[in-house]
Amino acid sequence: MENLVRVQREGAVLVLTLDHPPVNAFTHDLTVGLQKALRQAAGDATVRAVLLKAAHRAFSAGQDLTELQAVEGESLRGHLQQTYNPLILQLRRLEKPVLAALHGAVAGAALGVALACDLRIAAANTRFLVGFSGIGLAPDSGVSLLLPLMMGFGRATEYAFTNKPFTAEEALAWGVVNRVVPAERLEQEALAWAQELAAGPLAAFGLTKRAFNRAILPHLEDILDYEAHIQDIAGRTPEHHEGVSAFLEKRPPKYV
C-alpha cells in the first residue's frame, strides 16, 4: 500500500496530510490509510486534536473514477461500506477536535469528509463541488445529511442538481466553513487553531461532540447505509456510465 496519508506530530496535534498527486483523488488505499490514522488518534492519549490537510494543488477532487470503474462490476454499496461510511463515522465519533484545512478543489466524497470534521478553515482560493450528479450518482459520504444541514435544504438541492461550484466566501456565508484565510496563510493558521484546540478541555470537547451527534446526527449511521443503497441503484444506470465516460473523455455528458 502506498503511503498516501502522511502522519506527523506537532505537539499534541496529529497532522494527517493527504498525499496522492496531482489532486488527492480518494482511492481504497487512501481511505483505509485515513481510517488507520484516525484509529491511531483515538488510541493515543497524548493526541488532543487532529488536523486534516492536503498536499498538492487541491484538498481532494473526490473519488478516483478509474478505480470506481473497477468497483462497479461488484457493488457500490459494498465499496461505501468498506471505505467512506466507516471513515465518516470515525470522524464523528472521535472524541477529540478534528479540524479540516481546505484549499483548491473539495469535491464529491471529499466534501463529505470535510463536512464530517468538527471545524473547517478554507483558503480563499477553495472551490466546493457537490460533484455526484456530474457522473450520474446521488450524494454519499454523509453529504445528503450534512450539506443541507449546514447550507440549507433549498440551496443544497440547487448545488446538488446543477453541480456548479461555490466559493470559500459563499461557504463561509452559508455556514459550510468556519473561517477563510489567504491561501499563503492556510497552513500556519490551521496549525495554530489546531494547537489552540489541543490546549482546551478535551473531555468537555468530547462530550460536547457526543451531545451534538445525539441531538443533530442521531441517524447518521442509518443515513450512510441508505446512501449506499441508493448509490448501488444509481451506479447501475446508463446515466452513471455515460457520466463517467464523459468525464474521462473530457466532454459534456449526453443524457437521454
Residue 102: what are its φ and ψ, rounded to 5°?
-115, 140
Q: What is the pLDDT of residues 30-62, one digit of tens each?
A: 999 999 999 999 999 999 999 999 999 999 999
pLDDT above 90 (res 71) = no
What pLDDT, on the 0 to 100 scale, is given for residue 2?
A: 67
Residue where the block lists cell 471545524: 119
CA distance 188 to 231: 38
106-128: burial string, b at 16+ Cβ within 10 Å, e else: bbbbbbbbbbbbbbbbbbbbbbb
Quote the mean pLDDT of the chain.
96
Helix (H) or strand (E) holding 128: strand 127-129
* pLDDT tops 70 at residue 138: yes
Terminal-to-terminal C-alpha distance of the chain: 40
**More reliable by pLDDT, 22 or 73:** 22
In contact, 141 and 84? CB cutoff 8 Å? yes
The pLDDT value recorded for residue 69 is 80
| Sheet strands side by side (includes 98-102) | 5-10, 13-18, 49-54, 98-102, 119-123, 179-181
pLDDT band at 155 (very low <50, low <70, confident <90, very high): very high
Q: What is the reported pLDDT for 73?
A: 56
Q: How confident is the model at residue 64 (pLDDT cuts 50, 70, 90)?
A: very high
Rounded Cα–Cα distance for residues 20 and 26 (Å)? 8
Confidence of residue 84 (pLDDT cuts 50, 70, 90): very high
Whether the per-residue pLDDT at 126 is higher than 80: the answer is: yes
| 194: CB partners within 8 A, 6+ apart | 10, 13, 15, 49, 50, 51, 97, 99
Question: What average pLDDT score do residues 162-191 get?
Answer: 98
Give 183's pLDDT tier (boundaries 50, 70, 90): very high
User: Is the pLDDT reported for residue 179 higher than 80?
Assistant: yes
Q: Give the pLDDT band (50/70/90) at residue 75.
A: confident
Provide the 8-state DSSP code for 15: E
Residue 181 has pLDDT above 60, yes or no: yes
The domains of the chain, with CATH numbers, are 5-184 (3.90.226.10)
What is the percent of the chain where pLDDT is above 90? Answer: 93
> What was the pLDDT predicted at 205?
98
- Looking at residue 81, the DSSP 8-state letter turns out to be H
The mean pLDDT value for 205-226 works out to 98
Per-residue confidence at 112, pLDDT binned at 50, 70, 90?
Answer: very high
Q: How confident is the model at residue 66 (pLDDT cuts 50, 70, 90)?
A: confident
pLDDT digits (tens, 9 = 90+) for 156-175: 999 999 999 999 999 999 99
95 in Cβ contact with 49 (< 8 Å): no
Cell numbers representing residue 100 in the block = 479540516
Q: Which residue has the cell 449506499?
A: 228
H-helix or E-strand containing 256? none
